[in-house]
Structure 1
Amino acid sequence: MEKESRLEIRRFTTDYAVREDRIRISVETEDSQIYIMWLTRRLMIRMIPEFVKYLSEVVPTPTLGVEDRASAAPNTATRVELSDNAQRQRQINALGHIEHQNPVKPKTPDQVNCEELITSLKVQLGRNGVLVNFVADQASVQKMPFAQDSLRQWLGILHHQFRKAGWNDDVWPAWIMAKGWNQGPDALRLN
């Protein structure tokens, strides 16, 4: 059963809540309402490998010449395994494009429309990104689209939250765990 239709997402914040020992996603909609979704480590360790596999295999087709465009299918993607160095570079590039914003936090208690413990995810993979449908008790709670770079950014933030929580990193590939992407003068500031 589908819950109420949600408005367009304006922005969201992902953080680790120590007291809950869970990841909290605070979503702000276009009408300034806030929806909070809780994700357990158990759910996350099943979700992350799917996203990593997707990003490891789907590579946008390089820019084609005029002659090649006629014979190529539009928006095609090739399935090529990228090296760890290539993946790390793509990850760093995506993280470098994060727009820094204030965290999503309710100003008043009545601004929080609802809180849900997410029990499952339905993920639709596509050439240009993924659509994540967060489900609580068999009802859709929120759908969030991620372009490939946005998914990389979110994975970087999730990795940071895993480290903050002290959770085991066994689901993370070497290209995300590599040191250095979050150090130095241009370090990523997470909200």
Structure 2
Amino acid sequence: MGGGMVPNMARVTTRYDSGQDRFSLAGELPQGLPVVLWLTQRLLLRLLPPLLAWLQEHDAPQQHEPRQRLYADTLQGFAQQAACAGLEPQMPVPVLAASPEWLVESVNLARGPAGVRLVFLGRQGPVAAMVMSAQALRQWLGIVCHAWRQAPWPMEPWPGWLVEAGAGTRAPQACAVH
């Protein structure tokens, strides 16, 4: 899940922007250069299912009986709570007025045993990438879910174990995930 020519963002600050009705990812590229990526609800609705499925497959095999599913969901909830508890608040990625901004039109997703790699593509092609272990993916999804609640968007895409894991916690307004 390494390199390629697309730069990996070292840190990412994820926010919902009510004026744009979109999510912004302020990323720190190599040499500390900032970039802003805009993600629409439509794009996120297509991205969430494979990310959530990877987490469920990564942490526990698919369960088919109701009791097994309940047990698997409980384990997912515990893992999500542990990931959220391990999230250290950090300063947001600084964005300048001259920082490049792109509307993300698609995302290439690579999954491996150690984690996932998201390559964000704009109209001109690949812009930036984000590599996350299972722990970092859980933390980022927790941040996205928390910010999603600020949007006038339905909560249906989110599994109960993830929503409940973050319900009692106060996530910072903006977080960086490494």
TM-score bucket (shorter structure):
0.7 to 0.9
Q: Does 1:109 align with 2:97?
A: yes
- Quote the offset at 1:12 in angstroms: 1.2
- Quote the offset at 1:6 in angstroms: 5.5
Runs of 4+ off more than 6 Å: none
Unmatched segments (≥5 aa) in structure 2: 64-70
Check whether the contact 2:104–2:122 (CA below 8 A) recurs between aligned residues. Answer: yes
Check whether the contact 1:124–1:130 (CA below 8 A) recurs between aligned residues. Answer: yes
| Counterpart for residue 143 of structure 2 | 157
Letter in 2 for 1:88: G
Output aligned runs, 1:3-18, within 5 Å. Answer: 5=5, 7-18=7-18
Looking at structure 2, the residues matched to 177 and 8 of structure 1 have their Cα atoms a distance apart, in angstroms, of 28
Bigger fraction of residues in helix: 2
Choose from 82, 89, 92 the match for 1:93. 82
Q: Measured at CA, do residues 25 and 172 of structure 1 come closer, stay the same or move farther in structure 2, by a change above 3 Å?
A: same
Computed over aligned residues only, the root mean square deviation of the Cα atoms, in angstroms, reads: 1.9
Q: Does 1:143 align with 2:132?
A: no
Check whether the contact 1:22–1:39 (CA below 8 A) recurs between aligned residues. Answer: yes
Output aligned runs, 1:15-164, within 5 Å. Answer: 15-59=15-59, 79-81=61-63, 83-106=72-95, 108-110=96-98, 112=99, 114-137=100-123, 139-164=125-150
- Quote the offset at 1:143 in angstroms: 1.2
Letter in 1 for 2:76: Q
Q: When the two structures are superposed, what TM-score results if normalisation uses the length of structure 2?
A: 0.83
- Quote the offset at 1:19 in angstroms: 0.8
**Deviation digits for residues 65-97 of structure 1, max 9, x if unmatched?**
xxxxxxxxxxxxx73446111000000001111
Q: Does 1:166 align with 2:152?
A: yes
Check whether the contact 1:96–1:188 (CA below 8 A) recurs between aligned residues. Answer: no
Q: When the two structures are superposed, what TM-score results if normalisation uses the length of structure 1?
A: 0.78
The residue matched to 1:98 in structure 2 has which SS?
coil
- Quote the offset at 1:33 in angstroms: 1.6
- Which entry has the higher C-alpha Rg, 1 or 2? 1
- Quote the offset at 1:31 in angstroms: 2.1
Unmatched segments (≥5 aa) in structure 1: 60-77
- Percent of aligned pairs with the same amino acid: 29
Choose between structure 1 and 2 for higher RCO, CA contacts under 8 A separated by at least 6 residues: 2
